[in-house]
Chain A
Amino acid sequence: MQDELQDIGKKGEVIVSDDRFDAIIVGAGLAGSTAALTLAKAGMEVLVIERGNWAGAKNVSGGRLYGHALEKILPGFAEEAPIERKITKERISLLSETAGTTIEYADESFRKPETASYSVLRSKFDKWLAEKAEAEGAMFVTGIHADEMIVKDGKVCGVKCGEEEMEADVVILADGVNSPLAQSLGMKKELAQAETAVGVKEVIGLEEKVIRDRFGLTENEGCAWMMAGYPSDGGIGGMCLYTNKESLSLALVLTTSYIGQSELSVPQLFERAKAHPVVAPLIEGGKLLEYSAHLVTEGGYNMIPTLYKDGVLLAGDAANMVINIAYTVRGMDFAIESGRLAAETVIKAKEKGDFSASTLSAYKQMLDNSFVLRDMQFHAKAPKLMEHKEIFTKYPQMAQEIFSEMYTIDGNPRRHLLKFAKPALKKAGGIFKLARIGLDANKAI
């Protein structure tokens, strides 16, 4: 397979481009465009190669962007960028087959630029960010797939696209989660099933006013809603919903190793989740605008690959920089920060005139000292926490049993909370299991 992954280029005459760049970036997602912006601002000659017809044409996210990373580079960006809504309301639900237990949290501080997060649609947002980089002088070629790495004497010195070869002092691979290119260099292993989830997503059109009324929002405010339990049918995973201006982003994320254990296929599980009594009213009357799918890595810190080699750096999803910690998925702020730090590393390497692994190792140090690897390390035990199946199977049922008795008033004799909470907890695995999960959760999230 590895050999075949490399065997992409069309055979024929090779055209070596006369233009040499300081840096080539593969992929105009958030990581790639941020790196391009940073390099171009520093006056470097940078070429971005993107396989989509424009930056964003291939990209999918949940998606909520935590603004802090981009705020450092483009202060006040949300005033101008095509964001959808500012998230002011967080909801998390445990869904059993017929019921849902939901916690809502709203906080004034969610409105400050330093801590704000925004719902975004990537095909618009990425296009905007790429244009920012272009305005600084970065050169983008779109509709071109980088097929192969050019490696000479163990050092990466460019990429091959079809019959053309392009060379540069350094290549930043920001080509996303699959990254056959990083795999071909032996920097990244094929994604392991237990550490990789598939995300299927629908963007569902709804009138602006309906969204506001349905989710209790004012004009530009938004809601982020995570749901665990029933949607993943006992597997590791969950559903997320984000309100956009005139649509909802609804995605089901499911660990791939679980596929086949359920009778249902991934698209069937998605439809089943959409029909859940908590979910169905939220999307009622909606019109499907787009159906998409994308992988999410879930291995967290332990899945970080080799980040640099002679002449090459990995950033964003190409470097598996994502965390999935039940109440939120993060990858976009990591992509932006790692893109920036990869660019900073290249700027320093250029000053030294040395692009060897030893100079590029500064990248790893900067990442270690940044929120990227700090937060990933902090949550390193999250994947293990998710292995407790009770979270996805028995606890939604337990919550239902407890709250159902609390809230059902039908003239039958009432019982004290402990009377019905205890047996419900016992059924769900008992107090020691809950304590174990609690301890693990305390270490992981």
Chain B
Amino acid sequence: MKKMSVDDKLGLNKFYPDEHNPHIEIDPDFTDEKEIMRVVKACPAELYKYENGKVIFNHEGCLECGTCRVVSGGKVVRVWHYPVGSMGIEYRQG
């Protein structure tokens, strides 16, 4: 089976994006690289990036697992909710 990027994998999923309503909020001023890198490595959807000493996050493509919240222990991820009803990922296999 050929190797695929996470972006390509997410491209096969069905999403109802809620563009202007992020359900996860990060602390943009948090700078501890080690902690940030753990969250970057943890997210199955690769939605966290570490660039120029800062954490960057985009909620679109979120698989709604909760891993980032658990791994960050309240540090990088400040607020974590599910998206509002009916928005976000829709699994057709499960």
Binding site for B on A (CB under 8 A): 1, 4-5, 8, 51-53, 56-61, 63, 121-126, 142-145, 161-162, 177-178, 180, 190-191, 193, 196, 198-200, 202-204, 247, 256, 259-260, 262, 264-267, 270-271, 274-275, 280, 283-286, 288-295
Contact = CB atoms under 8 A, between A and B. Distances in A.
Interface of B: 1, 3-4, 6, 9-10, 12-13, 16, 34, 37-38, 40-46, 63-67, 69-71, 73-74, 78-86, 88-94
Contact of A294 (B6, B34, B65): B65
B91 A193 contact: no
B67 A60 contact: no
B53 to A, nearest CB: 18
B63 A293 contact: yes
A406 to B, nearest CB: 31
Contacts of B65: 198-199, 293-295
Contact of A53 (B13, B84, B90): B90
B44 A267 contact: yes
Nearest to A54: B90
Contacts of A293: 44-45, 63, 65, 67
Contacts of A58: 64, 88-91
B81 to A, nearest CB: 6
Contacts of A200: 44
Contacts of B85: 51, 143-145, 161
A204 B41 contact: no
Contacts of B89: 58, 292
Contact of B94 (A8, A53, A124, A198): A124
B67 A295 contact: yes
Contacts of B34: 260
B92 A290 contact: yes
B94 A60 contact: yes
A259 B66 contact: no
B86 A284 contact: no
